[in-house]
Amino acid sequence: KEPTEEPDEFVQRVTSFGDIIQPHIKKMVIIGALVMAGLIAWKAVGWRHEKKAKRATAAYVTAMKSVEAPVIGADDPPPPESPIAPLTYPTEEARQTASLTALSELRSKHGDIALAKLAGLTEARLLLDTGKYDEALAAFQKFSKTSAPEPLRMAALEGAAYSLEAKAMANEDASASQAGLEKALQAFANLQPAEGGPMRDYSLYHQGRLLITMGKIEEGIAKFKQVLTEQPESPLKLTIEARLAYLETGAPAKDSE
């Protein structure tokens, strides 16, 4: 009797594995195709995002060039010669108009990019400078609610209060102007109500300014002195001391800010 031939172990394992996966081959092919499609889509999204970010960066740079461009009128000396002609504007109004247009385009086309969102603070300041107080207020308030760094958000809150103040001061109706100043006063108080918090000295200083503008001299002086008490090393110290010297003695003092 011929001895029974044992099957090769490797061949047997491969055959068994083939028998196991045979019913699942179709599923595996589908899953593999989905994985490949996912990887391709992920790469495509990354490429598109990178391309969009580059366009947003270019638009941001263009807008900032306009914002920072010098105003050179007909009677001003020309800019120094350069291989690349510098961007200039004949008037401040022309510069502001061009800058607001560029920033508005940046916001509308690339508003979901973080860099474009940061430009919102610059746009708000320009709106304030051009006397568009309601638009400036809305822009400052919107920026203050973003995820921007805290110093920038605090600056936006200060800008919102400035917008209320400027609008109130521009109102020719005395009662309406006074009511507007009350709103601005509260906005400056809300800038930093906590003792020791960031921009606390600016919050108190602005409140002092407005109280004096509103005719509440003693209350304004008290706010100024509060700054010197809470933050004796505040960068506003010299400005406040000059104002106090004038208010308390009537002697004119040069304001350092």
DSSP string, 80-147: PP-SSPPP-BSSHHHHHHHHHHHHHHHHHHHTTSHHHHHHHHHHHHHHHHTT-HHHHHHHHHHHHTSS
pLDDT given for residue 91 in this prediction: 87
Contact 50, 111 (CB under 8 A): no
Do residues 72 and 78 lie in contact, with contact meaning Cβ atoms separated by under 8 Å? yes
pLDDT over 80 at 58, yes or no: no
pLDDT in tens, 212-248: 999 999 999 999 999 999 999 999 999 999 999 999 8
The CA distance from 23 to 256, in Å, is 85
DSSP per position, 137-162: HHHHHHHHTSSS-HHHHHHHHHHHHH
pLDDT at 237: 96
Contacts of 134 (CB under 8 A, 6+ apart): 163, 167
Ramachandran region, residue 131 (left: φ > 0; alpha: ψ -120 to 50; beta: rest): left
C-alpha–C-alpha distance, residues 126 and 120, integer Å: 10
Q: Is the pLDDT of residue 122 over 80?
A: yes
Q: How far apart are CA 140 and CA 125, in angstroms?
A: 8
CA dist., res. 224 & res. 234, Å (int): 11
d(CA 200, CA 212): 19
Mean pLDDT for 176-202 is: 96
pLDDT in the model for residue 2: 53
Burial 13-30 (b: 16+ CB within 10 A, else e): eeeeeeeeeeeeeeeeee
> What whole-number distance in Å separates Cα of residue 184 and Cα of residue 210?
8
Residue 227 burial by Cβ neighbours in a 10 Å radius (0-12, 13-18, 19+): buried
What does pTM read for this prediction? 0.71
CB burial of 103-128 (b: ≥16 within 10 Å; e: otherwise) equals beebbeebeebeebbebbbbbbbbbb
pLDDT digits (tens, 9 = 90+) for 130-169: 999 999 999 999 999 998 999 999 999 999 999 999 999 9
Six-digit token pair at 14? 């491969």
Residue at 67: amino acid letter: V
Flag whether pLDDT at 172 surpasses 80: yes
Between 132 and 113, the more confident residue is 132
Q: What percent of the chain lies above the pLDDT cut of 70?
A: 74
- Please, which residues have CB within 8 angstroms of residue 23's CB and are 6 or more apart in sequence? none
Q: How many angstroms separate the first and last alpha carbons of the chain?
A: 115
